[in-house]
Structure 1
Amino acid sequence: MSTKDLQGTNRSGILIRGLIVLVCAGIINATSVFITPLAAYYGWDPSAIANIGTTMLTFWPIGSLLGGKLLQKLGGKPVVLIGAIVFGTGLITTAMVPIGSPGMLYFTFSFLIGMGNGITYCGTMYCVMGWFPDKKGLATGLCMAFNGGSSAFLAPLCAGITAMSNVKVTLISCGVVAMVVCIICGLGIKSAPVGYVPEGYVPSSSGEGLVSQYESIPISKAWKTKQFWLQLGAMAFFPSFYLIMFSRFSMFMTDKGIDLAYATLGVSIYNIGNVVGRLGLGKLTDNIGYKKVYGVCWALCMVCGACLLTGNSTATILVAYFCLGAGFGSTNSVYPVITTTSFGPIYAGNIYGFALLGYMAMTQIIPRVTAASIEATGTYTIAFVMAFILCTLGVLCGFSIPKLTRKRLDDTANK
């Protein structure tokens, strides 16, 4: 059943195209630069559109779920094209919302961008991973590093275009460029065949072989397993520190009397940690296994929490932001490896999308609990204690995932 490299297929070329697509999709991490300029341009009350960003985070996991399902049914090329068109259309139509209808942003900005970006992200990542069953940690780490790191230059680029012209020009420009680039790259992307084995691959001494050499398990069976629910729990609980801080990076520092320039630096430090962690620890999963890397991620988040809870100096908080970027960011390289290792490559994108529903629920719960506790006490203490507990619960879920026995494709074919 194993299939060697197809004639004319260059998996490195597919990786490069996928990375370019994920760089464009990374603009979702910089969409906050659009919200305040939109309110100012149209003269809207900022509170009227304040929730379009968090609402987009709710639709994004649903888009990822759909992207995984479409990848399974249609293959890599159609998924990238669909995601690019929906995502780009969301950016373009956001620029065209009538001045008297700010509520339409919940469709153009929250729904279209969130859904389209989720489809693009999940479909591209798992399509690329399918070509690297021998280096799945490295492939995932590269995908996540390019996706997460792109906001470091996309955010200031978008802000600069807006300053020189206006936010409508920025949105239309981003939408057109992202759509065209992703479509061009998507035309050269395709899914790996079932049972794919890279040319020249030498099996390890353990004799376990590649994940692609074992049957893949669909969501209809996966959701009945302990592995699925433990992964869902890990993805729901682990990101607690991030969900507390993602909209409060600058606010947290300025509340402590730290100059706004350092607060802006803190966001950059977080992004650096994010890229370094995704790439470095993603690659490390190939060498020491995802559970040990997940433990490193947890340790980094614990250091972050301790610094945030007790530190008042600029240096201490910057250390916290770097550790959060490296610790939380790296989990985005670990989860796809967990999914593929447990359930195989064919349905992994779809299963990953369903597991993201746990994260989606927490994007609504944790920020609200945080806001309520800060308002009631005037401090972050309760929120951070909650994060220590939930993050630890998340890592315990990850550590508890047992190996799922799957039949070899050769054995299945012979029956």
Structure 2
Amino acid sequence: MTMRSLPGSPQRSHQLLAALICMVAASSPQYVWTLFTPALHRDLGVSLPKLQVTFSLVIVVQTLFSPIQGWIGRHVKPSLLIGAGSLITGLSWMTAGQARTLAELYLTYGVLGGIGTGIVYVGVVSLLMGWFPERRGFAAGVAAAGYGMGAMITTFPVAHVVQQDGYRTALTVFGAIIGIVGLGAACFLRRPPDGCETATLSLPASHVLKTPVFWLMFFMMATMATSGLMVTSQLAQIAADHGVAHLTILGLAALPLAMTLDRIANGLTRPLFGLVSDHIGREETMAIAFGAEAIALIAWISLAHDPVWFVLLSGVVFLGWGEIFSLFPATLTETFGTQDASRNYGLLYLSQGLGAVFGGPLAAWLHQSSGSWTPVFAIAVGGDVLTAVLAITALRPLRRAYRARRP
């Protein structure tokens, strides 16, 4: 079945565009958090590991509620659900701008932000995989690209407002923008027509949780999320410790330039590797991408004192881990079917919450205890290598055996 022969295909480009705008609007709480950490660290007078709990809360809450959000998505119109998620996301920033204590920051930026971004993320990925059944890897990649690249638009503006007017103003102003833009785009979202699905055996979440192949995917995604979120949450601190945070390249500050390049790489890698996996296979693509991530991390920590290499290699690092948000959803749906795809992906998405715990405060604690980023990067590299090997030696044969046994 070709894309053009699918029912509802004239609407698909409109659905794709609206969904991407929602993802872009919801991406900033996760991907520009590092811009707020130095000012929050000084203003609240708390340790970096305690402050990084906020970032972990965004991811943990986002993933913890994702199975519930997936279930709600089967009974509520996507325009209502994703619109509500966009409003909650914007509100989380606006209220965080008024936070005076660490507990208030946890509740606003962390908990409220996690709920809002989780609704948008799971809702959009599940919706687009329904609209593009013949290219699930690509569809999941494009959806995730909007989330990965979206903060590219806000990185320099947020950094500028933080520097000129303070982080509280930045949170309030951009929070309002996030909510309004996301809600406006969500109004155009619709479920795909019945004929837009291909015939696939669908299994309920209760069955999926009993299979070894699901838990292997869960472990692999958690391991890759850990190494990626280490960099995402600690980028500003890594730059400061290597003396490049305030250096410039071609007149541009190294840190926001690195963050902008990272957003581009983190976005491009998702549809790119999703499309590649549609042609050469999911596990083969995982092995290539995860292995490249390990090499990039080794090179980056070795050359991070040079601002040019810091910027360029940080982009390569993001290119090597962001594709988990296209490869794993596509592999999961391909393995277990589409009927309960949103809830199944919600369960798998919990693995990112586990990765956030290790990638955020525990990574900061390890750095604080050792006085070096080398142990943190060593663990990340080891996880990348392990996951690349498991993709070929364990996931591929296990998934083939499972699919062969299926009716």
Whether TM exceeds 0.5 here: the answer is yes
Whichever residue aligns with residue 274 of structure 2, its letter is G
Residue 376 of structure 1: how far off its partner (Å): 4.6
- C-alpha distance in 1 between matches for 2:34 and 2:385: 29
Equivalent in the alignment of 2:379: 386
User: Which sections of structure 2, spanning at least 5 residues, go unmatched?
Assistant: 249-253
Paired residues for 1:175-186 under 5 Å: 175-186=175-186
State the identity as a percent.
Answer: 21
> What's the TM-score once normalised by structure 2's chain length?
0.84
Residue 303 of structure 1: how far off its partner (Å): 1.3
Whichever residue aligns with residue 89 of structure 1, its letter is L
Matched, 1:152 2:167: no
- C-alpha distance in 2 between matches for 1:239 and 1:310: 22
Equivalent in the alignment of 2:189: 189
- C-alpha distance in 2 between matches for 1:357 and 1:33: 26
Equivalent in the alignment of 2:344: 351
Q: 1:186-221 CA distances to partner (integer Å, 9 max, x unpaired)?
A: 222122245524xxxxxxxxxxxxxx3113212111
For the aligned residue pairs, the C-alpha RMSD in angstroms reads: 3.0
State whether residues 233 and 359 of structure 2, in contact with CA within 8 Å, keep that contact through their aligned partners in structure 1.
Answer: no
Residue 144 of structure 1: how far off its partner (Å): 1.9
Equivalent in the alignment of 1:361: 354
User: Which sections of structure 1, spanning at least 5 residues, go unmatched?
Assistant: 198-211
Are the structure 2 counterparts of residues 347 and 110 from structure 1 closer, same or farther at C-alpha, using a change threshold of 3 Å? same
Equivalent in the alignment of 1:286: 278
- C-alpha distance in 1 between matches for 2:266 and 2:282: 17
State whether residues 76 and 191 of structure 1, in contact with CA within 8 Å, keep that contact through their aligned partners in structure 2.
Answer: yes
Task: Say which of 32, 35, 51 aligns to 1:33.
Answer: 35
Equivalent in the alignment of 2:132: 132
Residue 6 of structure 1: how far off its partner (Å): 5.4
Whichever residue aligns with residue 90 of structure 2, its letter is G
Whichever residue aligns with residue 224 of structure 1, its letter is K
Q: 1:317-370 CA distances to partner (integer Å, 9 max, x unpaired)?
A: 445322211110122221211121112223222222212223322322354554
Paired residues for 1:79-118 under 5 Å: 79-97=81-99, 99=100, 101-118=101-118
- C-alpha distance in 1 between matches for 2:92 and 2:245: 36
Equivalent in the alignment of 1:45: 45
Larger radius of gyration: 1
Residue 383 of structure 1: how far off its partner (Å): 2.8
Residue 37 of structure 1: how far off its partner (Å): 4.9
Whichever residue aligns with residue 247 of structure 2, its letter is A
Are the structure 2 counterparts of residues 182 and 246 from structure 1 closer, same or farther at C-alpha, using a change threshold of 3 Å? closer
Equivalent in the alignment of 1:260: 246
> What's the TM-score once normalised by structure 1's chain length?
0.82
Residue 164 of structure 1: how far off its partner (Å): 5.3
- C-alpha distance in 2 between matches for 1:377 and 1:49: 19
- C-alpha distance in 2 between matches for 1:72 and 1:406: 29
Matched, 1:72 2:93: no
Whichever residue aligns with residue 127 of structure 2, its letter is C
Task: Say which of 61, 64, 89 aligns to 2:63.
Answer: 61
Residue 103 of structure 1: how far off its partner (Å): 2.1
- C-alpha distance in 1 between matches for 2:170 and 2:238: 29
Structure number with the higher helix fraction is: 2
Are the structure 2 counterparts of residues 7 and 124 from structure 1 closer, same or farther at C-alpha, using a change threshold of 3 Å? closer
State whether residues 52 and 361 of structure 2, in contact with CA within 8 Å, keep that contact through their aligned partners in structure 1.
Answer: no
Q: 1:132-191 CA distances to partner (integer Å, 9 max, x unpaired)?
A: 011222222222222211212212222334455554443333333322322222222122
